[in-house]
């Protein structure tokens, strides 16, 4: 099977940059000039649906999605964050995390639709800053969970 999400980081020509990786999933920065900050959270194992994961694995994946969202909100201050998981074109479990601004090309429409205007491109955080912010959000969330779970 030739899955682009399974092989994305193994191709030397891939413009996607690794921001976070653990034993179960990874976060990559998507090279999209119109949408700087666009990230993709990819489950490492090739599965197509959330329900193929055990409940704890689903929680872990969503923790990483939410940490990525939080990092982008803190660094870019977008008007909205779009979270999307389709899998129609690439049936490998992944989430799109896309910072949106009222003056971007497609707002309020989806980024995959027809452009509404030329749009303004907003400054993207550096790769190092975004990777650090994701790690910080994951650590903060893990700490909060540990302190609020019943003993």
pLDDT at 37: 94
pLDDT average, residue stretch 84-102: 93
Number of domains in the chain: 1
pLDDT at residue number 61: 97
Provide the pLDDT confidence category of residue 15 given band limits of 50, 70 and 90: low
Mean pLDDT, the chain, whole residue set:
89
- CA-CA distance, 129 to 75, in Å (whole number)? 8
Task: Average the pLDDT over 48-56 and give the result.
Answer: 96
Q: Which of 25, 14, 119, 137 is nearest to 72 (CA)?
A: 137
Judge whether residue 145 has pLDDT over 90.
no
Q: Give 140's pLDDT tier (boundaries 50, 70, 90).
A: confident
pLDDT band of residue 3 (cuts 50, 70, 90) is confident
Question: In which domain, by residue range, is 60 found?
Answer: 4-148
Over range 78-105, report the average pLDDT. Answer: 94
- Cα–Cα distance, 124 to 48 (Å, whole number): 30
CATH of the domain at 98: 3.30.428.10
Backbone angles phi, psi at 95, to 5 degrees: -125, 135
Query: How large is the average pLDDT for residues 78-91?
Result: 92
Place of tokens 């090739």: 46
The count of other CB atoms within 10 Å of the CB of residue 151 is: 2
């Amino acid at each position: 099977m030739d899955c682009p999400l399974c092989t994305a980081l193994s191709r030397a020509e891939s413009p996607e940059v690794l921001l976070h990786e653990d034993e179960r999933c990874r976060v990559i920065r998507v090279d999209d000039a119109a949408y700087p900050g666009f990230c993709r959270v990819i489950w490492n194992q090739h599965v197509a649906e959330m329900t193929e994961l055990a409940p704890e694995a689903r929680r872990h994946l969503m923790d990483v999605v939410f940490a990525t969202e939080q990092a982008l909100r803190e660094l870019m201050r977008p008007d909205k964050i779009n979270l999307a998981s389709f899998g129609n074109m690439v049936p490998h479990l992944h989430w799109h995390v896309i910072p949106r601004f009222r003056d971007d090309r497609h707002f309020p429409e989806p980024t995959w639709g027809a452009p509404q205007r030329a749009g303004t491109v907003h400054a993207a955080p550096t790769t190092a800053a975004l990777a650090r912010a994701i790690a910080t959000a994951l650590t903060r969330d893990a700490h909060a969970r540990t302190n609020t779970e019943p003993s």
